[in-house]
Structure 1
Amino acid sequence: MFLSNILSLRSIKVGVLFFFFSFAQVVYATDATLFLSPVTGTFVIGDTFSVQVMVASDGVNLNAVEGKITFDSEMLEIMSATTSDSALTSWAIPPTIDSQKGELSWSGIVPRGITGERLLLFQFEVKGRRAGEAPLRFTTGAAVLAADGNGTNVLTSMNGGVYVITPKEVLPQTSSGGSAFSTSETSGGEVLGAATGTTHITSTTHPDPERWYTERTGIFAWEVPLGVVAVHTGFDNKSTGAPFREYRPAIKEKTIKDIFDGVQYFHLSREYENGETDIEHRRVAVDATPPAGLSATIISRDDATDPTVSFLVAATDTVSGIDHFTFALDDASPVEWHDDGTHRYALSRVSPGQHVLHGVAYDQAGNITSIDENFSVDALPPPEVILSKTTPKEGEQFTLSGKTIPGGTVRLFVARGGEEPSVEEVTSDAHGTFSLASVVRLSPGVYEYWGEVKNVHGAVSSQSVHASVVVSTTLLGLVKRHPMIPAAVVGLFVILAGTIFLVRRARRGIGEKEDEEVEKSLVAMVSRKKVIWVVVGGT
């Protein structure tokens, strides 16, 4: 810090100290302590309280003090600091507040030196912002320098403080703007109202005392039997704590706001007309903080093609504890997983390629934290697939052979046109060769064929090159595929022959008829000529 850096060089330190402190009495003592006052206390959210920074010299004649105090800026807010009554008379660095870092630092001196058991350095004002325990701590690097001519750091201990910030209680407002109950003690997070309940404390916000909840506001209700003149309530982390706040006349419901994480207890005592009292305690478990440190680290594999991938899973939850995890591979549905103590989550039969494992950790209150872990699985080399006959004919078997890893299970795909492929398997031999006469009988068209291989561990290759071949139509194949064609040809021939026969016969019938008509015509002509001749001859 500033003062320590100045006094770190011995020549400068001795000169400066001699100049300022030559008239001071040098006391060679052994220790000094920095401490806060008060060291603890309980305060309501929003309340402001004072803390003093003190030093005890135990006989040491001091001439310089520097240090730094850290605080949780979410829990506490340091409003201001004052040095009006300080034992230090000069400041290299006056008390400086850095709310973003949560730090309060200073460096001051007393030219003539000073000693005492409770020397005030400065005082600062603090306001509680959130319920819980809020520590104020001195950091390492602080110094209390003695007026011994050498600037010896005699600081041997530092005692910070811990302050409990409790939820504030608020009374509801009446229509006139005042409190529903005129109790001067009541302030902050407590909402009072009329509610009926059972003889035991009930809660609509935290119905099961054994469960954890994320809700930081608790509503508690109870029954007020005849004869009850007052109730006393309390809320703290003691299972048998004493109710300390009195409500007269008795109330039936109370709301506690800003409940901090952990197990707390609501305390209720009812006071009867005859002076008797009863007391009840209700457990309230709140965890509004998500799990931390979620990780799913892939465990190293000897074979990058291994389709079984394991992850080392870690997560912490210091309040309610981790309940379970869910994991989903890529776009698949999440699977619930409970750690058996090995912290190992395994995926099996993962296909080759890039993947994302989506992980979610749940604590017992239902808070979640999620991660995405990217990983990959390498593919085996694809098999070499060869068509045994380059010009297969219609009706023949589709015969494939090739080369791949020894003892691999080769899956061969054959598809005609855009149809679904048929899939057949064959195991490669010790040399990695394989051959398969497919059950597929070839029909005319374009066939596509390819393959992939899987080893004994389940690792899979990428697909081989998709090759194609054209199968042409043959007469024999055409006849086999359409057995009615020969019958149709014979029938057509018969019809054609019959047609020719009928045409010829028809033509022959027409000719005979024509001859008969000619003959009749000749006869008729001859008859006419004969008559004519008779008539003429007769004349």
Structure 2
Amino acid sequence: MEEKKKTGNSNLIVIKGISIFLVVSMLFFGFAFSVNATGVSFFLAPSKGTFFIGSTFTVSAYVNTKGNEINVVEVDLKFSPDIIQVTSPIAGESFVSEWLSPPSYSNIEGKISFRGGIPGGIVTSAGLISTITFRARGPGLARLEFLDSSRVLLNDGKGTPVLATTMSGIYDILIPPPEGPKVFSPSHPDSDIWYQNNNPSFAWEKEDAMTDFSFSFSQNPQEEPDTIPEGSNNFKSFEKISDGIWYFHIKAKKEGIWGKTSHAVVKIDTTPPEEFEPKVDTYSKLVYFETRDLQSGVNFYEVSIRDISKTLSQQPFFTEATSPFRIPYEKPGKYSLIVRVFDKASNLREEEIKFQLMNPFISYIEGKGIQLRGFLFSWWMIFLIIFFLISGTGYLIFYLLTQRGLRKGIKEIREALAEIEKIEEREKEARRLKEKFREEREKLEKRLRGENE
């Protein structure tokens, strides 16, 4: 009887143990289901950087819920107030829809606080809480850290805290390098103008604390000089530089620190515009001209036209013109037309053409040919036409001779000659008869005069 009682008590103890184990297991797994084992984390972006004193930069605070649904974030940040200070505590598109208390900060204590809620909860891997704007005020390493008072609460109706990890930031604040020296070009003072001078020179201001300079001269606008000192002089010149846009880069060493780079631009063009040939249309009284300049570009044209059939001592007078240019003369004569083209560096190219107006339909273009009703027949075309005319005439004669036969032709020539001889004999006979008739008439007249006497 006692043994049965002991056995029953033992079974009861086992059943109670199993029940407790099941309850604990359910509670444990239930909590593990509701809270991700890795927990929620705060992090900053960027988490590091280098900035100069006087500049501003932004840092954003984010939350990664790691699959958990949260509805409250409480952020307390600490920063180094002697190195950086807050200028704006909130910016950007925060996922926080309701601030439980306005974002606040203290540049004396070096603290920032955010308290916000998200009705309905949120699950996010990179939820933006806020973007903070800092100003760098002193040199050193500025730290931005989440305080232990920061919290994240689950959207489980209980406000279960689930913040597991935080990631701080560190920012290196440096003394800004000195500004580059003020540089200018005495030879090319205006950087927007093209110059013919290909011997540029540069000068720059030298402050008392500047000990060395480093410079370079190239066609790369982004080039940075090296840190090898070029001396302490504040003038540099170059000779026989090729055409194009050139950049002078210079930086100074001040109190042992190389400063920023200053730049000066020079534009060089020593080449005149490309050769061209004015084209005269005497029928329409128009002159056409056009060329190009590969560096600075064409600026303008000038035209001069003279009647050289009158005098050769007349100096050309130029006026600015565009193509086509209308010839102002109508009467026949010999004319000289000069076209000048200037590029934007004032380089000049000049082309001349001479022509002769004969009548409204035909003109002589010196060195070119003859223009008929606006169409120019060059000399080679004229010679070619004459050649074909002579060749064609010769061929026609040869063709006629070969078609009738040489003998037949000779026979016909002989017959023609014989016929001519007969005609000549007849003419001689006619002259004899005429002479005989004259003599007979004279005799008759004498006889008649004798009878009358």
Q: After TM superposition, is the score higher than 0.5?
A: no
Q: Which has the higher contact order (CA 8 A, sep 6+)?
A: 2
Query: TM-score normalised to the size of structure 1?
Result: 0.31
Rg larger in structure:
2
Structure showing the higher helix proportion among its residues: 2
Compare the two structures and name the one with the higher strand fraction: 1
So what's the TM-score if we normalise by structure 2?
0.37
